[in-house]
Amino acid sequence: MQTEQLGYAIDLRSGEKLTATELAHRLATQKRVLLGELHDSPRHHQAQHWLLKQFISKRPQGSLALEMLAVNQQPLIDRIYAKSAVKKSEIYDLLQWKKSWNWDFYGDIVYHAFNTPYSLVATNLTNDEVQTILRGAVPLKGYVSTTPEVKKQIADLIANHHCADCIDVKYLQAMVEVQQFRDRRMAEKILQASTPALLIAGNHHVNRAFGVPLHLFDLSQQETATVVIVTDSVADFTQRNADYLWIIQE
């Protein structure tokens, strides 16, 4: 990926504009980084791969955690690590990669993890867990992550991505619970992962106002993470949402 295609970043605390290289240098000093994305943006995934290569050149990486892998795929990940060598063309089948995640976008990132001395960590709910929550699981408990305000923000996001009038209120509440359980699982996994740790997930998941960072706080108030929201335009984000905004245009 050419340097000019990497866009630029904004430090949301100071307003300072950074090159992608300057952002990478800052992130390389952090214990945990939560990196957002727009799932359907090829440039975002190319930039993620670039960032991982920058990290590995600056210091040892502990782990890479992915929203795109469910926890029941972790044994498959471990089996691949146990092999002496695996071709990139084999990993898709060996991982039982889900077709809902475009392999053309994530293949290089996953292959990179298997060819560097750090751990690949699955963080997502299984399909069975999602169905259980949708049928009516006991809501999560938390101090800051499960407040009515947080749940409303998530509900509004879900409604905005669907026909708001077409979603049954009860089903919408269940979808909010799925999001909450998913964010809690990611927080648990990133806390357990070897550091330095990088989580790649959708922008909504890494958002400090209602996503994984709140669950990190509820699980361990002593542990924090640096949040990077990646988008294709200067949007209405503040330091309430993230530490950095990384703007990468198609």
pLDDT band at 84 (very low <50, low <70, confident <90, very high): confident
Of the candidates 34, 41, 57, 53, which has an alpha carbon nearest to the alpha carbon of residue 7? 41
Average of pLDDT values for 204-225? 95
Residue 136 and residue 118 in contact, taking contact as beta carbons nearer than 8 Å: no
pLDDT band at 119 (very low <50, low <70, confident <90, very high): very high
Confidence at residue 117, expressed as pLDDT on a 0 to 100 scale: 87
Confidence at residue 165, expressed as pLDDT on a 0 to 100 scale: 60
Confidence at residue 4, expressed as pLDDT on a 0 to 100 scale: 73
CA dist 39 → 9, 18, 165, 222 (Å): 19, 23, 25, 31
Element holding 23 (H helix, E strand): helix 20-27
From the CB of residue 72, how many other CB atoms can be counted at a distance below 10 Å?
15
Q: Given a cut of 90, is residue 104 above it in pLDDT?
A: yes
Confidence at residue 214, expressed as pLDDT on a 0 to 100 scale: 98
Confidence at residue 236, expressed as pLDDT on a 0 to 100 scale: 85
Average pLDDT over the chain reads 93
pLDDT band at 45 (very low <50, low <70, confident <90, very high): very high
Confidence at residue 166, expressed as pLDDT on a 0 to 100 scale: 63
Distance of CA 64 to the CA centre of its chain: 10
Confidence at residue 193, expressed as pLDDT on a 0 to 100 scale: 97
Of the chain, the percentage scoring pLDDT greater than 90 comes to 81
Average of pLDDT values for 66-74? 98
Confidence at residue 7, expressed as pLDDT on a 0 to 100 scale: 95
